[in-house]
Structure 1
């Protein structure tokens, strides 16, 4: 079991490093990265929030739709561990959500209704700048052990570098431009998922899998393809046919 996990960790870092060298679509990279983190850290789900130039948080990636919806709810109600993590720059560990109902009543209620019992929020920082917060959600009570926390932090460091390259990290204007690019790309991605979900009668998570596979199989950037789908430059039916041909519908 330990050998398998070690191979999975190596594979995740190799995949990330290859994408960084070969050129990458930031939204695609962060989406895959978030899913890999959830699997490697043995949590039920993960979600990434990034701040724009006004320090307003947005959902950029989530390993599942229930996580995406919970993160959006957290932002709408202005309460939750990921917001506290971002605002303080300090990790927030909640082994048992039920005992924190007084702290975030609305968030805990919705999180429990979606099956989550614990959460660990970790700040995403680069050279003193807090870029966002990364939430790890568990279906059972409990904390992450020290090894998992160290791995989570290492993965977050890599993602931070992916968003902002090292040479530009001291330039706040460059940081804001890179973050805004990621946030805008995510909005277009959500719109494209909606188009495919409607045309193919799919769940949103399935629509994302279909879109991402088409982008990778045709060597296109995910956000470019998403924009083409939204603007009807690429037919949703063409992407759905490719999904049926490759038998990837989850």
Structure 2
């Protein structure tokens, strides 16, 4: 194995893990580097979505993509074994006709003789698998291929988890911004009601909330209407008077 090429690969991968990186572009780069570094014929990468269903994320060739789709369709093959067990799965396909009958037949038709599946794992969590296919004689389970392949799978795991964390953070930031904007709108509506009806801000809020409940609408939607109209008419549900005070 070319040590310099291996080192450059991980430098390139590290450079790719920046803010706003394209996770699918990075995963495509990973499977391409599997071919260069490991000398295998094809590679494919699958990861689980939010419903824990495996999806094809990247493929080095159409043959690899079709085989990965075949595994997804039939839930049969090394990818599913590695994903479920969290362990590397290596096999010579001539010996797997009973183990994976459908997958073995499909892979053999594509000209492959050997397969190695490596888990995408973070501690005890497995989020997918990296599939390596080869048309050469002999298994792919030698220590160097397994170690380097697993290292590439680990980089893919980091990339996927980082992208998901970034997406969750964006959603959280958006939710917080919406909440803050809603709070401002509600405060503005309270001010409109307070001034229009000459009532305290607490009473204005109670009036606003009561109307939203009566109409089965979101509080912020009612508040937006009040702010736009600059009038208390929309929420005057007590005969033009504010709600009665308690106590």
Give the shorter-chain TM-score range: 0.5 to 0.7
Aligned to 1:143: 140
Residues of 2 paired with 1:68 and 1:167: CA distance? 23
Residues of 1 paired with 2:48 and 2:19: CA distance? 26
Cα shift at 1:167: 11
Residues of 2 paired with 1:118 and 1:132: CA distance? 20
Give CA deviations for 1:41-60 in whole Å, capped at 9, x if unaligned. Answer: 11111110101122111110
Residue 83 (structure 1) aligned with residue 83 (structure 2): no
Cα shift at 1:174: 4.7
Residues of 2 paired with 1:32 and 1:122: CA distance? 17
Matches within 5 A, 1:91-170: 91-94=88-91, 96-141=92-137, 142-165=139-162, 168=165
Give the TM-score taking structure 1 as reference length. 0.63
Cα shift at 1:166: 10
Residues of 1 paired with 2:57 and 2:164: CA distance? 23
Give CA deviations for 1:98-139 in whole Å, capped at 9, x if unaligned. Answer: 111011111111100001000011110013211101111110
Residue 40 (structure 1) aligned with residue 37 (structure 2): yes
Residues of 2 paired with 1:67 and 1:104: CA distance? 16
Matches within 5 A, 1:1-250: 5-21=2-18, 23-94=20-91, 96-141=92-137, 142-165=139-162, 168=165, 174=168
Change (3 A) 1:167 1:60: closer
Q: Is the 8 A contact 2:129 2:153 kept in 1?
A: no
User: What are the ranges of 5 or more consecutive residues in structure 2 without an aligned counterpart?
Assistant: 172-247
Residues of 1 paired with 2:164 and 2:48: CA distance? 20
Residues of 1 paired with 2:52 and 2:19: CA distance? 30
User: What are the ranges of 5 or more consecutive residues in structure 1 without an aligned counterpart?
Assistant: 178-250
Residues of 2 paired with 1:165 and 1:27: CA distance? 12
Cα shift at 1:143: 2.5
Relative contact order (C-alpha < 8 Å, sep 6+): which is higher? 1
Q: How many residues align?
A: 169
Residues of 2 paired with 1:110 and 1:70: CA distance? 7
Give CA deviations for 1:56-103 in whole Å, capped at 9, x if unaligned. Answer: 111100111110011101111121111111112121110x20111011
RMSD: 2.3
Give the TM-score taking structure 2 as reference length. 0.63
Residues of 2 paired with 1:121 and 1:167: CA distance? 23
Residues of 2 paired with 1:99 and 1:125: CA distance? 27
